[in-house]
Structure 1
Amino acid sequence: MSPAARTLAVVEATRFRGHDPEYHAYVQVLVGGVVRAAEADGWTVSRLAADAGTDSLLAATERADAVVIVGGEDIAPRFYGGAGGYPHESLHRETADAAQLALVHRAIERGVPLLGICRGLQIVNVALGGTLVQDLGESDHVRRGVPIPEVLTTHPVLLEPDSRVEELLGGPVVAVRSAHHQAVDVLGAGLRVTGRAPDGHVEAIEHETAPILGVQWHPEDPAAPAGQLAALLGALRVPARAASLAA
């Protein structure tokens, strides 16, 4: 596959958050960072919103050579058998949730490389039957009561030896930028944990056979270590649709 032929779908929950202009503006910074980094790496990028629905998203990504699912609001609890009413519960976008979950299933079936960032990691886990810790309580993973651009924290992540993420980032410990009040609880089928925060919460997961990688942090944040996002996008440089060809 020549570089000019590589097409990447960058998928967010929604393109518009009129109820929260500050958060919407910061999302544009983050998603824009993914798009620019991918284009610099030679990808032809389509930026797509999952709230258009499952059929629309699957059609729009039908020919994508790889997928990135970016951050956003909490996944609706019904998709992982949870209950509502938990602390700091966000607005839910169930149409977007369902579409992104379907996209993960198809990526695995076809062997299409997929990178999940923050919410994207959680979507991968829930798609494969995993569950979430609904609120981490008072933790080092999010600052509260500060402007949105200051919400992210910097902390280390301990990576598993010989994991794909350790290979991509070049060491057993990396500094990351993150903000999340939820985390992986029960791990989904076919996944393994390949990175944890010092407090033990899951920060990276990988599929055992499919080219699927998820990180809980934000490598696209402007204050993230230089080159970290580009390195993780390197996970998408594997032959696509291997699973469908073998099926």
Structure 2
Amino acid sequence: MNQEFTNRMLAVVEVTTARPDRPAYHAKVQVLNARVVTEADKAGWTVTRVAAADVTPAALLRLTADADALVIVGGEDVTPHLYGGSTGYEGETAHFAAADEGQIALVQRALALGTPLLGICRGLQIINVALGGNLVQHIDDGIHKNIGVPIDQILSTHDVTLSNDSTLAASLGRVDISVQSAHHQIVDRLGSGLVAAAHAPDGLIEALEHETAPIIGVQWHPEAPDAPVDQLALLLAGLAAQHDARARVTNALAA
């Protein structure tokens, strides 16, 4: 860890702490979310874990106000009306509108303040919607999610190619990677200031970045137990590097 900056504060923002009607799905999500917290703690972050559906959007902003960086993790589909979509589509999941609104507010504040932010799976989609983009509501091709299997087997392994000049490629140290994903929605129109940073073999967008702000979204799950061993650690290190660069500028301007 860079000793120049210590006690970095990371907010890991999930959807909800309770899904009594979907225990198997909830257990899977909790395994993934817990790994983000564990890996961040190992990397030296002081971690706050917040469920957006369990508080109001205003409270979510307040609880994460001191965070040096944010991770918005996976979960249910984004509420359709927030991106001009309609309900009743194939594969539709439960929606948590208050959580969506709170997480969208987090993205917009991160953009305004320059706070480093990583979105994972649904987190990428929240970033896109927050900045005015929309989503393809359903894909069912067997590449991005294993179809018709128990929840513990739902993650699909496939290749992703990163853009050569992307922050992601710099963080991960290569442009061709293997990932694990489990999504049925994807980016359609990119939000304002966002660019595609990675594509799957079928041409679908697998990651996005903001042109000027330290905001990155990956559609895959680097926190999955069977993901490449260093993938999540490298992404968290990228967040730390973005925070440290921002802090140096702030300190220089204050000097």
Tell me, yes or no, if the aligned pair for 1:3 and 1:42 is still in contact at 8 Å.
no
Deviation (angstroms), 1:171: 1.3
CA distance in 2, matches of 1:162, 1:129: 24
What is the CA deviation profile of residues 136-156 of structure 1, one whole-angstrom value per residue up to 9, with x for unaligned ones? 133311122211111000000
Return the TM-score normalized by structure 2: 0.93
The equivalent of 1:40 in structure 2 is: 42
1:129 aligns with 2:161: no
CA distance in 2, matches of 1:240, 1:126: 27
Tell me, yes or no, if the aligned pair for 2:118 and 2:217 is still in contact at 8 Å.
yes
1:225 aligns with 2:228: yes
Deviation (angstroms), 1:27: 1.0
Tell me, yes or no, if the aligned pair for 1:206 and 1:214 is still in contact at 8 Å.
yes
The equivalent of 2:12 in structure 1 is: 10
1:92 aligns with 2:95: yes
Deviation (angstroms), 1:15: 1.1
Tell me, yes or no, if the aligned pair for 2:79 and 2:95 is still in contact at 8 Å.
yes
CA distance in 2, matches of 1:89, 1:97: 15
Q: 1:200 to 1:3 in 2, by over 3 A?
A: same
Structure 2 unmatched runs, 5+: none
Tell me, yes or no, if the aligned pair for 1:142 and 1:151 is still in contact at 8 Å.
yes
Structure 1 unmatched runs, 5+: none
One-letter code aligned to 1:129: G
**Structure 1, 120-129 or 131-140: larger mean CA deviation:** 131-140
Report matched runs for 1:120-199 at 5 Å: 120-199=123-202
Tell me, yes or no, if the aligned pair for 2:13 and 2:72 is still in contact at 8 Å.
yes
Secondary structure of 1:102's partner? helix
How many correspondences in the alignment? Answer: 246
The equivalent of 1:239 in structure 2 is: 243
The equivalent of 1:62 in structure 2 is: 65
CA distance in 2, matches of 1:209, 1:177: 28
One-letter code aligned to 1:24: H
One-letter code aligned to 2:197: T
Return the TM-score normalized by structure 1: 0.95
Calculate percent identity across the aligned residue pairs. Answer: 54
What is the CA deviation profile of residues 40-79 of structure 1, one whole-angstrom value per residue up to 9, with x for unaligned ones? 1000001101111211100000100000000000001100
Tell me, yes or no, if the aligned pair for 2:222 and 2:232 is still in contact at 8 Å.
yes
The equivalent of 2:215 in structure 1 is: 212
Secondary structure of 1:239's partner? helix
Alignment match of 2:117 (pick from 105, 109, 114): 114
CA distance in 2, matches of 1:240, 1:53: 30
Q: 1:147 to 1:3 in 2, by over 3 A?
A: farther
CA distance in 2, matches of 1:197, 1:119: 17
Tell me, yes or no, if the aligned pair for 2:5 and 2:244 is still in contact at 8 Å.
no
Deviation (angstroms), 1:234: 1.7
Deviation (angstroms), 1:239: 3.1
Deviation (angstroms), 1:172: 1.6
**Structure 1, 71-80 or 4-13: larger mean CA deviation:** 4-13
CA distance in 2, matches of 1:45, 1:143: 32
What is the CA deviation profile of residues 148-203 of structure 1, one whole-angstrom value per residue up to 9, with x for unaligned ones? 11100000001100211111111121000000000000000000101000001110
